[in-house]
Structure 1
């Protein structure tokens, strides 16, 4: 019996597998220093350590919950791989129904059931044994049985190991390329108002009011908008939905987002929801130089003692930290971009009040107009988050041949807006 034949893939069982999975994942660091992407991928040779040029690496802490990144999805799958009695690999997938960014003949949104594959890890001592392939094959089959029509994954362009595995071996197609925009949380609060922006009011919307607003704004004009958006907005991890409007509009009662006519919304507005990813998992930078750590400590201390100077200080990312995710970003009207900046500063100040929250993040379509209003640091952000997709079941036309129009993978983008579900981040 070969080593590959000794690999067994099965469903994750929390009561017996949690400790083993956590121990294995501690060996698999996440980030550009080793993987170049969000998730570790088997089959990539580990770089030899060079003590003269030691690089910082990002580590992920699931805080004792291996299901943390899929637990809040409508349905999910988690599989583990064992070599003998040793845990050597893991993979996860969340399953949900999302929009395709277009309407049907009756003007209703077109939906598809998709599986988002994430969290693929293989023990460093068991790579190049085909474990990753076994895990991907198994999770695709599980998702197919659950009715998923498509599967997709996300990684950075530089993560060649991940891209080669999914595109070359499993026929995934590079599909969409949203941008991840990261703003560090400074010690000083940010002023909400920007120069040239008229008096502004920020309204907090209840989930009952936010849901019809989001359905109106995104259900037919964006891809990956979740059909169960109400569950996302009502989840305790959603800290609130906020709308910024000129104060002159906020004092009137003639607009209502539940109305379908053009008078249902103010002429200029921006909307955003905040997801507390800090309570899902945490990150930590390890391996940074002593000089880098000292510089961060100095800038942070100076910012805390002299907040009026507005020093763009870096938070202490060398200890476990969390992030807030801004999702559902949308703006309309001439003041829209400025109102988006106002909401982003509000999210920053909320994160500043939460100990251990080090960054505010947004992921938006690369050509989404709202991107212009999202403040971020280029060195912490990346322009292209590669989303690769595969059709799990082949659609056919009336003649029994392949229906390219029905195949989302083959279709041209119908919109610049990609809705990023915070449960998958």
Structure 2
């Protein structure tokens, strides 16, 4: 008994005939292309059956034989006219009359056409189906910036970059624009590839630079670092007014130090003044660990950073093998190599080495791989640590910063600040991010 099979793959999927290879001695296959009726594998199957008849023709699903019920019926009749029996692994023997009338098959065909249409749109870098994200509208086959709503997203992003507080930026857009959003929506505005000028599809592939961006690449890299630094911090400290909020821990009792202030007290000149303290919250020891003046703690922490940071950076860079390329250099080389391959596709298509469908699929995969490498590159430190450590090892650099600027740099380098108490005094130990 001679058994052959036919397999049809959706655009963008790797060929995977599955059980057909095990059951049939030869498998004919096609893939969805910009012209749905173009199926050379199916045509070759019918021609071969006329010259070398087979007993059985196996298919994964009858719906894969055509684009509508009438076409499926016609192809079943054509295949059976050669003396073969068409068998579906999903069903069994074929009843042509019920097949044409079957509503389930018609529904499956409509769903298949939708999936194929979406796959062809991916290959052409067209936006996915559905409502465009807030701040955009559809036009010219891509997303266009909506001038009525995009300023809300821009203001939200700028507020987050300035103060580093997601919920604070949510409250800001509600107060200023009357736009009420949830924190999860705000996070999506900050992180979704669409706002960075990229398209993300259901299969997870991201294509870069497909439309105008609301969030620039530099802003996106800074947003990712801010969110990554804020993740381990206690709630409501990401955008706190004081730069040490959420970073200081008492090593003796293991409790975080919160910032408290005294009631205003009059000075000899008649001016009211408040004093800030770092106080352990929920200290279980008796007597409780004492509070520390905020300004004194700030000066000691700055002095410790200026002492420890250059040594830590020198040790970190010394562990890199001599002559080993930097991670950024390796990623840039990989990106350049893939972009070179991408640039060769038009010439290969013009010379006939690649057909239009294969070139489109290869272009889609290459652009997705390049986007992944760019994402890895954006997560690397934005500056040279050795040079930066020299700049930030001057105490006056830290003291001249505003609280918001100082908070930004603290969280760029510090994961935790430990207060170690001796009998009569206390000292600072730093936990650096690297």
Q: Name the structure where helix makes up a greater proportion of residues.
A: 2
Establish whether TM, by shorter chain, passes 0.5: no
What TM-score do the two structures reach when normalised by structure 1? 0.20
Give the TM-score normalised by the residue count of structure 2. 0.19
Of the two structures, which has the highest relative contact order with CA contacts closer than 8 Å and spacing of 6 or more?
1
Query: Which structure has the highest strand share of the two?
Result: 1
